[in-house]
């Protein structure tokens, strides 16, 4: 079985590469809590190669009680990836309320910190974060690691779910794995927004043409493959539009079955870091016209 092989590769990799901190995982080799590492130690000791190695195994890493300033978060992102993405989210349609374009505002708040009204364009644009996606896969180069820091979170709702697309890949029948290896898909943020009926101006659409990405990615360190899927996938090259969309839909349904999911229930000061090449994620419902939710994300370029 493919997934058995991947577990052996991962446990060997873990022994050799990650020794400076403990990771307690929720689901086998997916979603680990990093124990006893403070922001200060992380930054001062430059634990970035170890974190990258842990991400090669777990896909999602959770740091509890890691309150960060925006500049500390930028510093971590710069050192974790090779460069940071500056236009991943809402920046496509509106000005950023932070000092640096690389800080993506994942909130339901306006410039004054007030809750956005139900018809606000920024709010409606942000709703598509609740579709399964990967960050900045519609850009070239695409996003690699995302670093999401929780400032204010509502209690008991507004979780974020992560799907393990490596495990999902190895759980596919071999014939399907063979069929999709080497295929490429078109990713466009205009497409994922239009799924919910969001409208762009001609000029915005012109800026958001999208890019080609492989449907399966291979991790250069572990040699293991993952599905690279998202709500942004609008077609598969070499297939008719309906055939390509059906394939993508089937693969997303497969990869988001319960057995592949970790659901993160947020506390303020949680820092969650994930590898967009081996996961998909989505936000869940919360009562966003009544309760504040404020997180800040930085996404890196590939290493
Ligand atoms: C993101 C994202 C989902 C959420 O920040 O990239 O998709 O739950 N967030 O806020
Ligand atoms: Mn996202």
CA distances from 147 to 55, 85, 197 (A): 12, 12, 28
Q: Structural domains in the chain? A: 3-301 (3.60.130.10)
pLDDT band of residue 182 (cuts 50, 70, 90) is: very high
For 172-193, what is the mean pLDDT?
A: 96
Torsions phi, psi of 153, nearest 5?
A: -135, 140
Point out the ligand 1 atom lying closest to the alpha carbon of residue 297: 5
- Mean pLDDT of all residues in 16-28: 75
pLDDT band at 1 (very low <50, low <70, confident <90, very high): very low
Residue of 298, 303, 273 lying closest to 136 (CA atoms): 298
Average pLDDT over all residues of the chain: 92
For atom 3 of ligand 1, the residue with the nearest CA is: 283
pLDDT digits (tens, 9 = 90+) for 59-105: 999 999 999 999 999 999 999 988 899 876 666 677 788 888 899 99
Task: Find the 175 Cα to ligand 2 centroid distance in Å.
Answer: 31
More confident residue, 149 or 11: 149
Bigger pLDDT: 93 vs 244: 244
Confidence of residue 25 (pLDDT cuts 50, 70, 90): confident
Percent of the chain topping pLDDT 90: 77
Residue 8 dihedral angles phi and psi, to the nearest 5°:
-65, -45
Which ligand sits nearest to residue 265's alpha carbon? 1
Q: What is the pTM of this model?
A: 0.95
């Amino acid at each position: 079985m493919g997934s058995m092989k991947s577990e052996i590769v991962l446990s060997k990799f873990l022994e050799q590469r990650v020794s400076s901190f403990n990771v307690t995982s929720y689901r086998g080799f997916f979603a680990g809590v990093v124990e006893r590492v403070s922001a200060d130690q992380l930054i001062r000791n430059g634990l970035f190669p170890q974190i990258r190695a842990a991400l090669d195994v777990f896909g999602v890493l959770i740091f509890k009680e890691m309150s960060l300033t925006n500049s500390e978060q930028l510093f971590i992102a710069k050192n974790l990836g090779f460069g940071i993405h500056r236009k991943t989210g809402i920046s496509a349609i509106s000005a950023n309320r932070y000092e640096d374009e690389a800080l993506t505002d994942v909130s339901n708040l306006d410039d004054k910190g007030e809750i956005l009204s139900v018809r606000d364009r920024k709010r409606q644009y942000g709703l598509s974060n609740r579709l399964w996606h990967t960050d900045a896969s519609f850009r070239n180069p695409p996003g690699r690691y995302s670093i999401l820091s929780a400032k204010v979170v509502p209690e008991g709702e507004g979780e974020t779910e992560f799907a393990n697309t490596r495990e999902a890949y190895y759980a596919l029948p071999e014939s399907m794995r063979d069929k999709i290896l080497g295929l490429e898909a078109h990713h466009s943020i205009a497409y994922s927004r239009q799924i919910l009926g969001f409208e762009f101006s001609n000029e915005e659409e012109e800026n958001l043409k999208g890019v080609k990405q492989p449907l399966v990615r291979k991790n250069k360190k572990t040699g293991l493959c993952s599905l690279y899927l998202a709500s942004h996938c609008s077609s598969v090259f070499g297939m008719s539009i309906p055939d390509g969309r059906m394939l993508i839909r089937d693969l997303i349904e497969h990869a988001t079955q319960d057995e592949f999911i970790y659901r993160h229930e947020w506390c303020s000061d949680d820092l969650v870091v994930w590898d967009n090449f081996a996961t998909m994620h989505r936000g869940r419902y919360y009562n966003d016209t009544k309760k504040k939710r404020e997180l800040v994300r930085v996404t890196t370029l590939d290493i």
